Chain A
Amino acid sequence: MAMAVRVFLLLTLLFLYANFSSALYEDQVGLMDWHQQYIGKVKHAVFHTQRAGRKRVVVSTEENAIASLDLRTGDIFWRHVLGANDAVDGIDIALGKYVITLSSEGSILRAWNLPDGQMVWETFLRGSTSSNSLLSILTNFKMDKENMVLVFGGGCLHAVSSIDGETIWRKELATESFEIRQILQSPESDIIHALGFVGSSKFVTYKIDAKNGELLKHTSTAFPGGFPGELSLVSADTVVALDATRSILVSISFQNGETSFHQTFISDLVADSAGVATILPARLTGIFAMKINSFIVFISVTDEHKLEVVQKITYPAAVSDVLSFSEGQKAFALVQHGGSRIQLVVKLDNDWSTDLLKESIEIDPKKGFVEKVFINNYIRTDRSHGFRALVVMEDHSLLLLQQGDIVWSREDGLASIIDMTTSELPVEKKGVSVAKVEHNLFEWLKGHFLKLKGTLMLASPDDITSIQEMRLKSSEKNKMTRDHNGFRKLLIVLTKAGKLYALHTGDGRVIWSLLLSSLRRSEVCEHPTGLNIYQWQVPHHHAMDENPSVLVVGKCGLGFDAPGVFSFVDSYTGKELDSLSLAHSVAQVITLPFTDSTEQRLHLLIDASNHAHVYPRNLEAVNILERELPNIYWYSVEYQRDIITGHALKGNCILDVEDEYCFNTRELWSIVFPSEAEKIIATATRKLNEVVHTQAKVIADQDVMYKYISRNLLFVATVAPKAAGEIGSATPEESWLVVYLIDTITGRILHRVTHFGSQGPVHAVFSENWVIYHYFNLRAHRYEMSVIEIYDQSRAGNKDVWKLVLGKHNLTSAISSYSRPEVMVKSQTYFFTHSVKTMAVTSTSKGITSKQLLIGTIGDQVLALDKRYLDPRRSPDPTQTEREEGIIPLTDSLPIIPQSYVTHSLKVEGLRGIVTVPAKLESTSLVFAYGVDLFFTRIAPSRTYDSLTEDFSYALLLITIVALIAAIFVTWILSENKELREKWSLTVQ
């Protein structure tokens, strides 16, 4: 009995301990999670290297980030990610201490402190019309020793003080569709010139006094040829533009208020001028750069407006802006490709023949072509001028070139992930060298000894740091082989640049990367876009020797009927196995639950004309599909038309060309939402790979409810068209949110709820038999989360134990959507504090472990919330049995427990998506959150009940066992001796 009490106490203690370990300890950060910071593709870069202190470059990116990077290492000093619709238009440095950024189409001007990135001031600039935006800092002109920032945006020219952001003057240049292309300032006087176009035919100049914004002169000259909008300044009074047909170069001189046009045909300058010409925005003196066909042509403009070709270089090349590096000398950089090397040339802008610098640098061909180059100068020890170049590559990576070498490179393509999938690592092979094992064994023992010291509090501070280091750099988690628990995997991500990366889940390092040739710009494919990535071949069973592969689907062009492109990539090696240019477009990609004999998964591609194409293109796939044809359906949700349509497959296509891989489809059903009352804003379905353990839910008193588990359920949320905008744009009376659960086979609406006075944005997650959605309640002025659980009433009668024992029930028989399902729905609603960016749910390998909701909050963090809080069976006062079942008393709002932030203290800037992948260990789920940053961790929603904790001391266990065995031996020997002595003493007497 005493023993039982002791064991019970021990178990209780263990339980308590397990309860406390739900959050993370400080020294556990980085053990199973990693975080990577990126900035995205660089748009503008400004160097700040004047002073001797930290040399840095300030960049703005296409992910709307502003960052200050260390020029020596490429590390981020500071970074700000602006909102999704706060795109940066211009960036510059004022007063040598402020970074000035113009964003949101020229309406927000901000100043950031250069050393630490704190915002100094922010000014909203009110415009009257929408127009382009331009940022220009007047460096020559000083007003009370401060730089003036000139901003054109919204049809107005603003002069803003760079010290406090006060608007000094504001000049409305309000002509319809007026766009300033260039702001010039005279070196001596306080006069500024603004040049631009009105519409597409008028060239306009404004002469403005910089002190008070007084308009001194205004000219407007019409040009019959029209302008497409680009303009390049070649000298103080001459600009060059193209005409509307892009076949004539127009040099415009605006000296003394007189505007004159001089036209030159491009064909006179360049031999093959069939292509579309564009003027590059490089600001050189007397010369402008033009791209035509596959060439960049540098053309000089003489005083008599004669144009002459200076040089012609083949296209994959980039030209930098002009940099004035010493008294009156200006230089620019030119980067060209030659095989796997790039050539960086720095020239004086007025002397074409001499090169200040000519370097040839070996570059990884996986980075693609150079897209942009920014240069900066430094003074070498021998007082000559050196140049460094910041290069943006085709895969959005950023390189710093200096002295013929790559100083650092950043893989900033990872900031714009489009889609991701995972792949298992190869199985560990036999034949690992003995030496390695021995080394490992020694290390292992040493490590555990250190750990033991730590546990027994005998470790010195040095030991503690080495323990921590050992834990963080554990070779175990970074191995390139499959592990027993399934924690080690490859995350294969597709980025906007069309590059594929494989990241190791252990530490997030890039295992391989591949710039997909099918997603690179070429003559056949002008605007390729990557769409999605799918698991193509996941070998197990009989195809074990083959490597798994992924399928990348993209399309060539912007329209919905643009032809698709396929790439098949080996997941282990990162080699492109095959690529296909499809003859048809890609509107839907449907992964079918069948594989062919080589474990290639069947995919059905629906094109814009609703034909279905089966891939892989082999007869076996067609045979499988034809066998299953009557049971395959597909549906399409059309946001624009507010229609959901369902289709079935039938027979082969009737086309001009015989195509056995093409199937016709016919429309079966459609749900048309009344356009004046409802507008689709969100949909959700169950994840394809989700595993559900059981169909029964045991509730209090041993009762059973049968879940309605169907893969063919679609959650659709619609709102009133008036309330489709932002929150606050509609009154509670005129906004409502309607939620549907639709069977996608038959189009039957299983459930429908209307939330009056609520509106989007709606974020929903569908799993098992429940759906959880997040929306805004206008009446309560709060966000709400609702849960709907669906139960099958037709099975509810299966409660006779004997029938179940004998197997006489219909619970395992296959079900069809055509047999009318009787469903019972339970739902409940709670307030929720945060607004949500994205939502996901944990997934485990067998689906036994309870679920957690992963909420990407507006603060770019990931919050884990137990599904138990979103249980429609919660009541304010649950009975004893319900409490035992784990039902939490109902509260009006969902609790946010600070310890349950999965991202702990980190932020995943610009969070866009959360993906969960099951590990092999049932209790554990791998979580990958991506945005501008990447974050990976693993979580155990019901704690790791199936494995020992990471800090479990094996050494202690081992030592205990050894000590016990030793004690047994010692006592045995002692008792033997004693007995012997006693026997002797007896005999003696």
Chain B
Amino acid sequence: MEKGKGVVARRWAIDFTDNSISPSSRDIPDPLGYARASSDQDDSTVSRQKKDAEANWKAQKAWEVAQSPLKNLLMMGFMMWMAGSAVHLFSIGITFSALWQPINALQGVGKIFEPYKDSKVDILAPKLLFIALNLVGLALGVWKLNTLGLLPTHASDWVSSLPPAQEIEYAGGGIPLH
């Protein structure tokens, strides 16, 4: 909707920085007699350099992404400390978000590192770090859950609805009726 609105809002535009290769991205057709492919082949050295730079940049970015949960972790820890150990809406909300974020992140770990995928870039190490940090976050969430008493780790959680044991004998009586 917003995108569409943007398009609608401007009457016309010329992108001066446009150097895209594919013709489909441009609205205007190429001039007659101009072949786009031939001009690209000339600067292969330039592109190689460019690619190296890009790989470096990707590796750097991947490491950055891998470390991003750390910040989150610290913030979460602070929020948990603030929330206290009593069960109420805040603490439950924070705990569940603390649990949900790492799980969500772990589920989409492939997708997150997708843009940095490259034959020259080793993204396994950042991935592992990312996973490890998220696991730490998850553990923190679980620990918080336990401190809130929401995990069945005590005997009381298993016996609290245990019905009274049956009795073998039965006795009745009382004061004789008069």
Q: Which residues on A are within 8 Å of B, measured CB to CB?
A: 4, 7-8, 11, 531-532, 553, 555, 560, 586-593, 604, 606, 628, 631-639, 646, 683, 685, 692-696, 698, 702-704, 706-707, 709-712, 744-745, 798-801, 804-805, 811-818, 884, 982, 986, 989
Q: Mark B11-55, 1 if CB is under 8 A from A, else 0.
A: 100000000000000000000000000000000000000000000
On whether the beta carbons of A813 and B89 are closer than 8 Å, the reply is: no
Which chain B residues numbered 120 to 159 have a C-beta less than 8 Å away from chain A? 149, 152-159
On whether the beta carbons of A531 and B161 are closer than 8 Å, the reply is: no
B49 to chain A, nearest CB (A): 45
Cα distance A707–B165 in the bound complex, in angstroms: 10
On whether the beta carbons of A8 and B88 are closer than 8 Å, the reply is: yes
- Are A694 and B174 CB-contacts (below 8 A) given A11-B89, A702-B157, A801-B155? no
On whether the beta carbons of B172 and A634 are closer than 8 Å, the reply is: yes
Set B88, B160, B166, B170: member contacting A698, Cβ < 8 A: B160
Cβ-based interface call for B115 (8 A): no
On whether the beta carbons of A811 and B162 are closer than 8 Å, the reply is: yes
On whether the beta carbons of A817 and B174 are closer than 8 Å, the reply is: no
Instruction: Determine which residue in A593, A695, A709 has the highest number of CB atoms from chain B within 10 A of its CB, and name it.
Output: A695
Cβ-based interface call for B167 (8 A): yes
Set B89, B162, B174: member contacting A683, Cβ < 8 A: B174
Cα distance A989–B89 in the bound complex, in angstroms: 53
Q: A8-B88, A555-B177, A588-B174 are in contact. List 15 more A-B contacts (CB 8 A).
A: A588-B172, A633-B170, A633-B172, A635-B174, A694-B159, A694-B161, A695-B165, A702-B155, A704-B154, A704-B156, A799-B155, A801-B154, A805-B158, A812-B165, A816-B167
Q: Which residues on B are within 8 Å of A, measured CB to CB?
A: 8, 11, 86, 88-90, 93, 149, 152-178
On whether the beta carbons of B165 and A702 are closer than 8 Å, the reply is: no
Summarize A's interface: helix, strand, loop or mixed. mixed
Chain A residues in 8 Å Cβ range of B168 = 631, 814-817
- Are A711 and B155 CB-contacts (below 8 A) given A694-B160, A694-B161, A814-B165? no
Could you jot down 19 A-B contacts, CB within 8 Å? A8-B88, A532-B177, A589-B177, A591-B172, A592-B170, A632-B171, A634-B171, A634-B173, A635-B173, A639-B175, A696-B160, A698-B156, A712-B170, A744-B173, A745-B171, A801-B155, A804-B159, A814-B166, A815-B167
On whether the beta carbons of A560 and B156 are closer than 8 Å, the reply is: no
- Are A588 and B160 CB-contacts (below 8 A) given A712-B167, A815-B167? no
Chain A residues in 8 Å Cβ range of B153 = 801
Chain A residues in 8 Å Cβ range of B166 = 814-815
Chain B residues in 8 Å Cβ range of A531 = 177
On whether the beta carbons of A631 and B172 are closer than 8 Å, the reply is: no
Set A11, A532, A804: member contacting B158, Cβ < 8 A: A804
Cα distance A533–B66 in the bound complex, in angstroms: 78
Chain A residues in 8 Å Cβ range of B160 = 694, 696, 698, 704
On whether the beta carbons of A884 and B149 are closer than 8 Å, the reply is: no
Chain A residues in 8 Å Cβ range of B163 = 692-695, 812
A19 to chain B, nearest CB (A): 16
On whether the beta carbons of B172 and A590 are closer than 8 Å, the reply is: yes
B101 to chain A, nearest CB (A): 14
Cα distance A984–B167 in the bound complex, in angstroms: 82
The 9 A-B residue pairs whose C-beta atoms are closest, nearest first, are A590-B172, A804-B158, A702-B154, A633-B171, A634-B173, A744-B171, A696-B159, A698-B156, A635-B173
B176 to chain A, nearest CB (A): 4
Closest to B155 in A: A799
- Are A986 and B155 CB-contacts (below 8 A) given A698-B160, A812-B165? no
A599 to chain B, nearest CB (A): 19
A810 to chain B, nearest CB (A): 9
Chain B residues in 8 Å Cβ range of A817 = 167-169
On whether the beta carbons of A804 and B155 are closer than 8 Å, the reply is: yes
On whether the beta carbons of B177 and A587 are closer than 8 Å, the reply is: yes
Cα distance A635–B169 in the bound complex, in angstroms: 13
Chain B residues in 8 Å Cβ range of A816 = 167-169
On whether the beta carbons of B155 and A590 are closer than 8 Å, the reply is: no
Cα distance A814–B11 in the bound complex, in angstroms: 86
Chain B residues in 8 Å Cβ range of A800 = 155
Closest to B165 in A: A815
A660 to chain B, nearest CB (A): 21
A615 to chain B, nearest CB (A): 14
B157 to chain A, nearest CB (A): 7
Closest to A644 in B: B173
Set B8, B157, B169: member contacting A745, Cβ < 8 A: B169
Cα distance A635–B172 in the bound complex, in angstroms: 6
Cα distance A637–B93 in the bound complex, in angstroms: 59
On whether the beta carbons of B165 and A631 are closer than 8 Å, the reply is: no
On whether the beta carbons of B155 and A811 are closer than 8 Å, the reply is: no
Chain B residues in 8 Å Cβ range of A711 = 167, 170-171
On whether the beta carbons of A606 and B156 are closer than 8 Å, the reply is: no
Cα distance A793–B169 in the bound complex, in angstroms: 20
Closest to B174 in A: A637
On whether the beta carbons of A4 and B173 are closer than 8 Å, the reply is: no
Cα distance A736–B172 in the bound complex, in angstroms: 29
Cα distance A633–B153 in the bound complex, in angstroms: 42
Chain B residues in 8 Å Cβ range of A702 = 149, 154-157
On whether the beta carbons of B164 and A683 are closer than 8 Å, the reply is: no
Set A532, A695, A703, A986: member contacting B162, Cβ < 8 A: A695
On whether the beta carbons of B176 and A587 are closer than 8 Å, the reply is: yes
- Are A638 and B172 CB-contacts (below 8 A) given A11-B89, A986-B8? no
B149 to chain A, nearest CB (A): 7
On whether the beta carbons of A593 and B93 are closer than 8 Å, the reply is: no
Chain A residues in 8 Å Cβ range of B157 = 702, 801
Instruction: Determine which residue in B160, B162, B175 has the highest number of CB atoms from chain A within 10 A of its CB, and name it.
Output: B162
B133 to chain A, nearest CB (A): 24
Chain A residues in 8 Å Cβ range of B161 = 693-694
Closest to A698 in B: B156
Chain B residues in 8 Å Cβ range of A637 = 173-175
On whether the beta carbons of A811 and B165 are closer than 8 Å, the reply is: yes
A844 to chain B, nearest CB (A): 15
Chain A residues in 8 Å Cβ range of B158 = 801, 804-805
Chain B residues in 8 Å Cβ range of A818 = 169
Instruction: Determine which residue in B90, B161, B165, B173 has the highest number of CB atoms from chain A within 10 A of its CB, and name it.
Output: B173
Cα distance A584–B158 in the bound complex, in angstroms: 51
Cα distance A986–B5 in the bound complex, in angstroms: 10
- Are A592 and B172 CB-contacts (below 8 A) given A801-B158, A804-B159? yes
A977 to chain B, nearest CB (A): 16
On whether the beta carbons of B175 and A692 are closer than 8 Å, the reply is: no
Chain A residues in 8 Å Cβ range of B154 = 702-704, 801
On whether the beta carbons of B176 and A560 are closer than 8 Å, the reply is: yes
